[in-house]
């Protein structure tokens, strides 16, 4: 909301200018007239300055509203996109968000980083160039999140099971 004091200040300055103009009408002395003219111009400049300040504030508020509307639209879009994923446990202590089967018609199956997902970002996990060998298992594939730099070793049997579905 535009600052009411800026608007009322501008109006007060205009009212004062009107009063000065009325006083000027009755003056016959050139020096007195000149003094009132300067006072009148000062009040007009003050009114313009306050009106511009109110307009600047209005512009700032409109920009804030525009940014908030964009943020709200982005949040609504993210909420809709989030519904297409479900949390899955892959291996020992590794959690990812996986595209739900009904959503796989429009795009290939993929995993999202759970940390980034909870932070409101969609970051698809990428395979590393070299397979990792984890102790006590038959091995697995190293996945990484390029957004938060998290690394995950997914056992081969889970990767194969996910590829079959």
pLDDT, tens only, 79-135: 999 999 999 988 778 899 998 888 778 788 889 999 999 999 999 999 876 544 544
pTM: 0.59
Residues 18, 90, single domain; the answer is no
Q: Tell whether 156 and 95 lie within a shared domain.
A: yes
Q: What pLDDT, on the 0 to 100 scale, is given for residue 137?
A: 43
Q: Are residues 135 and 150 in the same domain?
A: yes
* 153 and 89 in a common domain: yes
Quick check: 110 and 99 in contact, CB under 8 A? yes
Give the separation between CA 154 and CA 125, rounded to whole angstroms: 11
136 in helix, strand or coil?
coil
Cross-strand partners of 98: 86, 111
Q: Which domain holds residue 32?
A: 4-77
Show which of 58, 77, 96 is a domain's final residue: 77
pLDDT at 50: 87
Starting at the earlier edge strand, list the strands of the sheet with 85-90: 85-90, 94-99, 111-113
Q: Residue 14: is its pLDDT beyond 90?
A: no
What is the average pLDDT across 62-70? Answer: 96
How many domains is the chain partitioned into structurally?
A: 2
| 97 and 159 within one domain | yes
């Amino acid at each position: 909301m535009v600052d009411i004091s800026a608007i009322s200040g501008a109006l007060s300055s205009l009212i004062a200018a009107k009063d000065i103009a009325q006083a000027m009408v009755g003056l016959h002395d050139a020096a007195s007239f000149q003094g009132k003219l300067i006072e009148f111009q000062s009040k007009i400049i003050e009114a313009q300055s306050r009106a511009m300040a109110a307009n600047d504030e209005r512009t700032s508020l409109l920009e804030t509203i525009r940014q908030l509307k964009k943020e709200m639209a982005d949040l609504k879009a993210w909420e809709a996109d989030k519904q297409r994923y479900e949390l899955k446990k892959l291996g020992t202590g590794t959690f990812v968000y996986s595209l739900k089967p009904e959503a796989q018609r429009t795009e290939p199956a993929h995993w999202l980083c759970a940390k980034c997902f909870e932070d409101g970002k969609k970051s698809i996990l990428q395979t590393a160039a070299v397979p990792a060998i984890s102790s006590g298992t038959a091995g697995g594939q190293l996945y990484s999140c390029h957004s938060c730099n998290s690394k995950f070793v997914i056992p081969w049997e889970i990767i194969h099971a996910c590829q079959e579905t």
